[in-house]
Amino acid sequence: MRRPDQVLASLNESFQGRQHSNKFFTIWYGVYCSSTRVLIWSGGGHHASLLFAPDAPASVFLPSTGPMMGVLRGANFPVNSCLIPPGARLLIFSDGVFEIFRDEHVAWDWPACVSYLATLSQGAETVMDKLIEHVRLLRGSPQLDDDLSIIEARFDQDTSKKAK
């Protein structure tokens, strides 16, 4: 469970789409070590996740470079890693968050979503409720076309330094 590449490889072999009515899925899987502040992750067919660090000018894209799950036997799922700064936020979400249509036209896309999330991430409150409200407003309905899933992980400020 601590090796994202192995977890994804095992899932990929177990859930081959041809054996499940040609259904496939995407995934982003990460493991965080709090003692080292290192996050390692792999992805299968999933778009990048976003890391927002306090006082950083832009988000950091955590890429997902593996193939969609269940498409190819023996597929490799590259492992990535990064150091997580104190106070950072990690947003992992489905494409239903940024592929928003209204009246058969694109109402919101990836760049607009990233920009909006960057603005929200500067505040102290959670982004999820505001994001869902905004997506429903753009869609013009509380009913969405696709699933909307989001995980917001917040990493504590560094408390190891004592104030003098």
Count of structural domains within the chain:
1
Over range 142-148, report the average pLDDT: 84
Q: Are 73 and 13 in contact (CB under 8 A)?
A: yes
Position 159 in a domain: no
Q: Are 79 and 65 in contact (CB under 8 A)?
A: no
Supply the pLDDT for residue 160: 54
pLDDT tens sequence across 74-83 = 999 999 999 9
Supply the pLDDT for residue 104: 86
Place of tokens 């041809």: 18
Q: Which CATH number fits the domain that encloses residue 80?
A: 3.60.40.10
122: confidence class by pLDDT, cuts 50, 70, 90: confident
Express as a percent the part of the chain with pLDDT over 90.
56
163: which 2 tokens? Answer: 């104030």
pLDDT tens sequence across 3-38 = 999 999 999 999 998 888 999 999 999 999 999 999
Residue 85 has pLDDT above 60, yes or no: yes
Neighbours of 22 (CB within 10 A): 10
Position 161 in a domain: no
Position 164 in a domain: no
Over range 135-159, report the average pLDDT: 85
Supply the pLDDT for residue 163: 37
Supply the pLDDT for residue 156: 85
Position 21 in a domain: yes
CA distance 116 to 102: 18
Supply the pLDDT for residue 118: 87
The parent domain of residue 65 ranges over: 4-154
Supply the pLDDT for residue 162: 38
Each residue of 73-96: b (16+ CB within 10 Å) or e? eebebebbeeebbeebbbbbbbee
Position 61 in a domain: yes
